Amino acid sequence: MIQVKNRIQTVVRLGKVLSALSEEKKWPGFEIGLNEVEFNKGLESINLAVHHNGWFTKESVKTSLASWGNSLSLENINSWLGKYNVGDFKAKKVGLIAAGNIPLVGLHDLLCVILSGNIALLKLSSKDTLLMMMCIDYLKTLDPELGNNIQVIHGKLEGFDAVIATGSNNSARYFEYYFKDKPSIIRKNRTSVAVLDGNESEDEMSALGEDIFTYFGLGCRNVTKLYIPEGYDLDKFFKGIYSFKEIANHNKYANNYDYHRAIWLLNCEDILENGFLLIKQEESLVSPVGTMYYEYYSERKKLDLLLEDKKEEIQCVISKTDIPFGKAQKPDLADYPDGVDTLEFLIALQ
């Protein structure tokens, strides 16, 4: 049985490796816990992942690695785990069905399982196999005993005591049926929204651009819907996000932009555009890649009631009084997907 402090030390060392990889540094030396060949395999994995998945650009992968590197400090992990009774329990086998929409999106669940002392039976997404396997290989190298608690499953998921599955609303129905006899967390589609009061600075609008465009808007923490006060001048919004114009040079993003522009124009939709983002007034929350929906509101209190009614569809609300602009893609370790406490769930299995 691996003691909690040893599990934490290994994850902290992983964070240092990911941080170094995010800067594309040369091998920092043995103090990182790896030899030069082992470290360089990570740099190779990054390059391979970029070629394997067209949405995983070098910039987006490095953004994810840097975020994980910052999160996995000893201070952050101790602060996170200090709220729980994480002890040395008898390990349970936890099936993990990972998503792959953004780089390393499945890493948080994996870390929750191994830090709670359980065994992960992991089914990876074909979209994010290389980066996840890179992290798994590093964990096995840094602590072979801990690495034994991670099993990558290629066939049918069997022999598990509980399951955490992430997918679409459609796949969630199948997950709920298939795993109905086991303790489970089943995650569905979610998105994020931003609420403007009309007095935001250019810096705040630029930070909102990060919430919209990081990872090309593919994550559940990406803003796809804008709530603006009646009479709001949308030129302020367009001016604030203009620095993100280079996103139009990404082929897959540009194809999405052009496709929806053509469809909306053919349908005589009332749209606004700036060359890299289409926006349309729409009640729906989830807009396609390359687009954004917006809606006017008259009173914030009424809007809050509306958002409360839609809370099962919303991951984050970004505003001056909620999650700050620019912070959507920089979650704390305790910011759980769908608001369901993963560690609490895992500890309750004991």
Which pLDDT tens digit goes with each residue over 134-169? 999 999 999 999 889 999 999 999 999 999 999 988
pLDDT surpassing 90 at residue 87: no
Please compute the mean of the pLDDT values over residues 239-262 and round it to a whole number.
97
Give buried/exposed letters for 123-152 (b at 16+ CB in 10 A, else e): bbbebbbbbbebbbbbbbbbbeebbebbee
Q: Give the CA count within 13 Å in the CB-facing half-sphere of 168.
A: 6
pLDDT of residue 18 exceeding 80: yes
E strands in 68-216: 93-97, 119-123, 150-152, 162-166, 184-187, 191-195
pLDDT of residue 9 exceeding 80:
yes
Q: How large a percentage of the chain has pLDDT more than 70?
A: 99
CB atoms within 10 A of CB 282: 15
Q: pTM of the full predicted structure?
A: 0.95
Determine the Cα–Cα distance for residues 241 and 286; give it in Å rounded to an integer. 19
Which pLDDT value is given to residue 298?
A: 96
- Residue 172: pLDDT band (50, 70, 90) is confident
- The pLDDT score that the predictor gives to residue 129 is 97
Average pLDDT, the chain: 95
Query: Pairing state of beta strands 291-297 and 278-281?
Result: parallel
pLDDT digits (tens, 9 = 90+) for 33-72: 999 999 999 999 999 999 999 999 999 999 999 999 999 9
Is pLDDT above 90 for 4?
no
Under 8 Å CB-to-CB from 174, ≥6 apart: which residues? none
CA nearest to 199, candidates 236, 167, 225: 236
- CA–CA separation, 73 and 78 (whole Å): 9
Best CA proximity match to 323, nearest among 171, 215, 204, 214: 204
pLDDT, residue 181, reads 92
pLDDT beyond 70 at 263: yes
Q: Is the pLDDT of residue 283 over 80?
A: yes
* Domains of the chain and CATH, by start: 4-187 (3.40.605.10), 191-318 (3.40.309.10)
**Residue 1: per-residue pLDDT:** 53
| Distance between first and last Cα of the chain | 14
50, 61 contact by CB (below 8 A): yes
Q: Look at residue 2 in the predicted model and tell me its pLDDT.
A: 63
Residue range 184-243, pLDDT digits in tens: 999 999 999 999 999 999 999 999 999 999 999 999 999 999 999 999 999 999 999 999
Q: Which of 323, 322, 63, 320 is nearest to 204 (CA)?
A: 320
DSSP 179: T
